[in-house]
Amino acid sequence: MDKSETIELVKKFSNANGAPGFENEPAKIFDDYCQKFGETSIDTMQNAFCKFNGNTGNRPLVQIDAHEDSVGFIVQAIRPSGLIKFVPLGGVVPTNMPASRVRVRNKNGDYLPGIISTKPPHFMTAAEKGKVPEIADMSIDVGTTSRQQTIEELQIDTGCPIVMDVTCQYYEYNDMFLGKDFDDRIGCAAVVKTLETLQRKKLDVDVIAALSAQEEVGLRGAYVTARKINPDVGIVFEGCPCDDTFEPDWLIQTGMGRGPMLRDMDTSFIANPAFEEFSDQVATKLGIPHTRSVRTGGGVNGAAITYYNGVPTIVIGIPVRYEHTEYNWIKLSDLEDSVKLAVGIIEELNKEILESF
Ligand SMILES: [Zn+2]
């Protein structure tokens, strides 16, 4: 995959609509790309699988994971004015939401534009101007003037999913993408690129990759994929939030251009220590810039895979600025370095090394 194909891949995943529970688009993109790498399938939950060509069935099995959903919203009810009352699917804070552009999927499957709206500043009291509104008091305005118009003409009602509305762009001058949902669509792109690179390698392990659904609402898809795959070891690609815009240099653990981040722990997960050290050594040996992180918040699919049989698992974090908001930045070199690291690890894994974890 050359640079322009990689840029195209990242854009496709970023632009895809995939609120938790509604991941058909990213699952289909993965399936289309991966048919040449192995046997693909999509289950009823929209988890998307690729059994790698060349698997023998008698070698240790590596599960490669990324989650395909992204934080979104869902219509709770339509207000008499036609505005939409909504609730979040995943972790968002009200500070980052008003004035964001969104797409609402109507009952016919069409995505229609809307804006997260609050009372205009002209009408706010002095106290309201200094206060962040509650999500319950926000609305999504799809450009209608009555409840009837929203429900009957636009076919939008309770249960319709909502995603951010951003078109991904790549900028050559800083090697960066500005787009939406890089948590974890950049991980999805990394899985595809890893499978593509592994085709040219000689391996001592079997590989099954899966994009998992519903991570943002509690790692639900990965609990299912791990049970279905029954792996011996897990590698999770996750778009991880950058801290390089507000932490002092000595405390930056995920930053633009600093390469993959190996996550030691967060509130859901502790990486298998031996696998973590092994992965760090592979990165150092291959000259890949990388960081380690210990987080006091967050959660990752690594937890769901570990909970299945105690499978030794690591998380390769790809730095994302401002995730869980409308716009995110990522750097192409961080994607490339993360793929290099995963490929390097998988190339070196064998039965003996696995037994040492
Ligand atoms: Zn994520």
Q: What is the DSSP string of 48-90?
A: EEEEETT--SSS-EEEEEEE----EEEEEEE-TTSPEEEEEES
148 C-alpha to ligand 1 centroid (Å): 37
Tell how far the Cα of 271 is from the centroid of ligand 1, in angstroms: 16
Are 210 and 337 in a shared domain?
yes
Residue 236 lies in a domain: yes
How far out from the chain centre does Cα 350 lie?
28
239 Cα–ligand 1 center, Å? 6
Give the Å distance between the CA of 16 and the centre of ligand 1. Answer: 15
Return per-residue pLDDT of the chain as tens, 357 residues. Answer: 899 999 999 999 999 999 999 999 999 999 999 999 999 999 999 999 999 998 999 999 999 999 999 999 999 999 999 999 999 999 999 999 999 999 999 999 999 999 999 888 899 999 988 898 899 999 999 999 999 999 999 999 999 999 999 999 999 999 999 999 999 999 999 999 999 999 999 999 999 999 999 999 999 999 999 999 999 999 999 999 999 999 999 999 999 999 999 999 999 999 999 999 999 999 999 999 999 999 999 889 999 999 999 999 999 999 999 999 999 999 999 999 999 999 999 999 999 999 999
Distance 240 CA to ligand 1 centre (A): 7
**195 and 344 part of one domain:** yes
What is the whole-number distance in angstroms between the Cα of residue 198 and the centre of ligand 1?
24
- 315 alpha carbon to ligand 1 midpoint, in Å? 11
C-alpha of residue 131 to centroid of ligand 1, in Å: 29
CA dihedral 222, 192, 206, 67 (to 10 degrees): -10
Distance between Cα 299 and ligand 1 center (Å): 8
Q: Is residue 55 part of a domain?
A: yes
On whether residue 307 sits in a domain, the answer given is: yes
Structure confidence at residue 119 (pLDDT): 87
Same domain, 227 and 156: no
Q: What is the pLDDT of residue 355?
A: 95
* pLDDT tens-digit series, residues 79-89: 999 999 999 99
The answer to whether residue 175 is domain-embedded is: no
Cα separation of 107 and 85, whole Å? 17
- Ligand 1 centroid–CA 301 distance in Å is 8
Residues 7 and 147 in one domain: no
**Residues 187, 255 within the same domain:** yes
Give the residue from 164, 195, 216 where a domain finishes. Answer: 164
pLDDT for 253:
96
Residue 176 alpha carbon to ligand 1 centre in Å? 19
CA of 214 relative to ligand 1 center, distance in Å: 10
Number of folded domains that form the chain: 2
Ligand 1 centroid – CA 230 distance (Å): 22
Residue 173 lies in a domain: no
Cα 232 to middle of ligand 1, angstroms: 23
Ligand 1 mean position to 101 CA, how many Å? 21
Residue of 260, 236, 237 lying closest to 311 (CA atoms): 236
**For residues 238 and 227, is the Cβ–Cβ distance under 8 A?**
no
Q: Which backbone phi and psi does 121 adopt, to 5 degrees?
A: -55, -30
On whether both 207 and 127 belong to a single domain, the answer is no
CATH number at residue 273: 3.40.630.10
Is 171 a member of any domain? Answer: no
170 part of a folded domain? no
The strand ranges marked E within the chain are 38-42, 48-52, 61-67, 72-78, 84-89, 101-105, 111-117, 139-141, 161-164, 169-171, 176-179, 206-212, 233-241, 261-265, 291-294, 313-320, 328-331
CATH of the domain at 83: 2.40.30.40
Q: How far is the CA of 113 from the centre of ligand 1 (A)?
A: 24
Domain boundary, last residue among 164, 193, 220? 164
> Are 223 and 338 found together in one domain?
yes
Interval between CA 212 and ligand 1 midpoint (Å): 11
pLDDT at 10: 98
Are both 273 and 330 inside the same structural domain? yes
Q: Quote the ligand 1 centre to 73 CA distance (angstroms).
A: 16
What range defines the domain where residue 337 resides? 3-70+180-355
7 and 140 belong to one structural domain: no
Q: Which of 134, 164, 194 is at the close of a domain?
A: 164
C-beta separation of 112 from 103 below 8 A: yes
CA of 67 to the centre of ligand 1 (A): 7
Alpha carbon of 150 to ligand 1 centroid (Å): 32
- Whether 13 and 104 map to the same domain: the answer is no
Domain assignment present for residue 174? The answer is: no
162 CA to middle of ligand 1, Å?
17
Same domain, 257 and 301: yes
- Specify whether 186 is located in the same domain as 160: no
Measure 36 CA to ligand 1 centroid, in angstroms: 26
CA of residue 146 to ligand 1 center, whole Å: 36
Q: How far is the CA of 300 from the centre of ligand 1 (A)?
A: 7
